[in-house]
Structure 1
């Protein structure tokens, strides 16, 4: 011990003194390994709770964002039923197109529904008329026409039910249509559900006026600008249309999940604070048991700052070891979530936000440990050598 004491006395806060403090701290923690292990276990549980709950909330938020897809850049324009307007005309579409200019794509849609048949097989499907289907959909087989003038484009669900492929014919309300393309399966949330739908030319509808207009922009801010332009032009004299800005809905959903995530992290932080109380108790007991040793160190010239540093290093070691172990376990749980839940994709789990939660949890664990060791360290550093040496 004299050698270590010389190091602490001689070099003070130099690197050698820091190493000596680390050595002393590790030795002191090893004196009562059970008590130290229980303190580390508390930190592990707290760090694991914070990191895992944070990652879980992040996974839910990012998965929801993936499911919503690009809805944030869309605006839905519908006839205002309260004003007695049930359909949109070509003139309305022209006004909307002029209002948004080249900053967005205007996609007028006619909707309906009918029984679709192929031989003995039949199913009820939604019917859509979209002049340029490539603006909204992608084909799994066949090619989408630049302008849909004839033939039918079948959703993947309808194609499976009727066992139909490109080149075959289907019957809708007594009229035959040759299938020119089969749409790919939808992997997110869409306003128009293509899987259970069939796209036919607009002229096939008894009423060719539009039921809604979808406006797609490059971003949510451009979509909001387009919505304002539509209100100023189409609704200048009367409220002909109602406008739904999906970016606002997406933002509200994102805010909700952000709040949920913060709430989950707060719950995890409570367990880490409890672990900090346990470290406070461990350090107080350790300092009390070593009053005589601390008195000897102070009597031979060890400075208060060296004693303070040594006790804080003990607390920091507890936090560091517990934090790293807790973060590793949390990372393994996140990986298990990806393997166990098909809806959770690897990019959702492995992303900077996940790494941020792991680093935050470890740092928070160390900070809580150091904060818990402040009072015991201050008490040990301010122990009067004469009083400490009286302890038997």
Structure 2
């Protein structure tokens, strides 16, 4: 077997003794920059897929919460129709007010009515609810504490007829002056149909009882406690009411969005697996090309664990660079999404989003290390004699 000159052996041994595994690995990575760049690109794509989809899910959930969180503190108390109760009495309203401490209680009657402005007309729900201002804020105009005359219109009705406070409209032939326009309810999420409704004084809708009672508490937790108290008070002897908590809708949608976010991250993980295969291929090819060099390392006394360390450090370097670049790109994507969906670019840098970025980098490095295990083991177990002969 031919031997390398002693000077070559000395240089190789001196190189390894002088430089730790990280420097030797860095030299090896830089030997074939194109191949290393392609491996890094695979990690970048995987990290961007995971982090960006996670950030998109978080931004979507934040946008939903900011738009719809305001309805989570509301309750709608309806008659127990299944038990034959068709309307709520004044006595029922008084009992609700007694247990709903620190909450606004607004009893309402409703009917379908024809609203017209000039020759333009449409059918809406007309509510007789004098305390509407305690539950729904106005976008234009001022809502009096007790609505004795005039009308309050939902944002959809206002847009439909292009009206504002001070204008007049007709409800079933009776003329009313618009005193206020309500804010839009939850960006299109309007389970009570408030956007397409008109609120009138109590005497505008016939009837002695009420079709429902709207309760607005100070928070979602307070609304839940109030719902429990109302059920206990009015359904103690026999069921009289059913209580619908709007917070339950918000909770269900929030949970659904969390599932979607997890699913999106899982899809992104597939890209990272593909990137791991790319790293494995690069490491294997690099090991084959440097078989003689590895044989020399082993011949001059370099331990197997040190050879494995060099290969694994190479893989970790590729993963770290790809992870950091991918995290930077993902942060830019997150800023763009937050700016578009929330109107605040800095909203992208929440604790949850930063955690996604950090975990994406960690996953990139771990994937690279796992992909480098077999090439490292294969290189460390090369027999020096066979490597040098080839």
TM over 0.5: yes
Task: Tell me the residue number matched to 2:164.
Answer: 165
| Count of residue pairs the alignment pairs up | 380
Task: Measure the CA separation in 1 of the matches of 2:379 and 2:298.
Answer: 10
1:356 correspondence with 2:355: yes
Are the equivalent residues in 1 in contact too, given 2:40–2:321 (CA < 8 A)? yes
Task: Tell me the residue number matched to 1:87.
Answer: 87
Task: Tell me the residue number matched to 1:145.
Answer: 144
Task: Measure the CA separation in 1 of the matches of 2:123 and 2:38.
Answer: 63
Task: Tell me the residue number matched to 1:13.
Answer: none
Task: Measure the CA separation in 2 of the matches of 1:355 and 1:287.
Answer: 36
Task: Tell me the residue number matched to 1:114.
Answer: 113
Are the equivalent residues in 1 in contact too, given 2:140–2:165 (CA < 8 A)? yes
Which deviates more from structure 2 when the two are superposed, residues 188-197 or residues 251-260?
188-197
Deviation at 1:92, TM superposition (A): 1.0
* Structure 2 unaligned spans of 5+: 1-7
Task: Tell me the residue number matched to 2:210.
Answer: 210
Which deviates more from structure 2 when the two are superposed, residues 209-218 or residues 348-357?
348-357
**Cα separation, partners in 2 of 1:324 and 1:231, compared to 1, 3 Å:** same
Which deviates more from structure 2 when the two are superposed, residues 106-115 or residues 184-193?
184-193
Deviation at 1:216, TM superposition (A): 2.6
Task: Measure the CA separation in 1 of the matches of 2:253 and 2:118.
Answer: 45
Which deviates more from structure 2 when the two are superposed, residues 79-88 or residues 304-313?
304-313
**Cα separation, partners in 2 of 1:345 and 1:352, compared to 1, 3 Å:** farther
**Cα separation, partners in 2 of 1:105 and 1:124, compared to 1, 3 Å:** same
Task: Tell me the residue number matched to 1:135.
Answer: 134
Which deviates more from structure 2 when the two are superposed, residues 78-87 or residues 206-215?
206-215
**Cα separation, partners in 2 of 1:268 and 1:65, compared to 1, 3 Å:** same
What whole-Å deviation, never above 9, does each CA across 1:282-336 have from its counterpart, x for those lacking one? 2122123223222333444444444333212210121122223333333444455
Task: Measure the CA separation in 2 of the matches of 1:169 and 1:41.
Answer: 64
* Structure 1 unaligned spans of 5+: 11-16
1:380 correspondence with 2:379: yes
Are the equivalent residues in 1 in contact too, given 2:127–2:205 (CA < 8 A)? no
Task: Measure the CA separation in 1 of the matches of 2:257 and 2:172.
Answer: 45
Are the equivalent residues in 1 in contact too, given 2:115–2:122 (CA < 8 A)? yes
Task: Tell me the residue number matched to 2:4.
Answer: none
Are the equivalent residues in 2 in contact too, given 1:123–1:162 (CA < 8 A)? no
Task: Measure the CA separation in 1 of the matches of 2:228 and 2:183.
Answer: 33
The two structures have a TM-score, normalised by structure 2, of: 0.86
The two structures have a TM-score, normalised by structure 1, of: 0.85
1:370 correspondence with 2:369: yes
Are the equivalent residues in 1 in contact too, given 2:68–2:186 (CA < 8 A)? no
Which deviates more from structure 2 when the two are superposed, residues 45-54 or residues 164-173?
164-173
Are the equivalent residues in 1 in contact too, given 2:12–2:297 (CA < 8 A)? no
1:9 correspondence with 2:36: no
Deviation at 1:119, TM superposition (A): 3.7
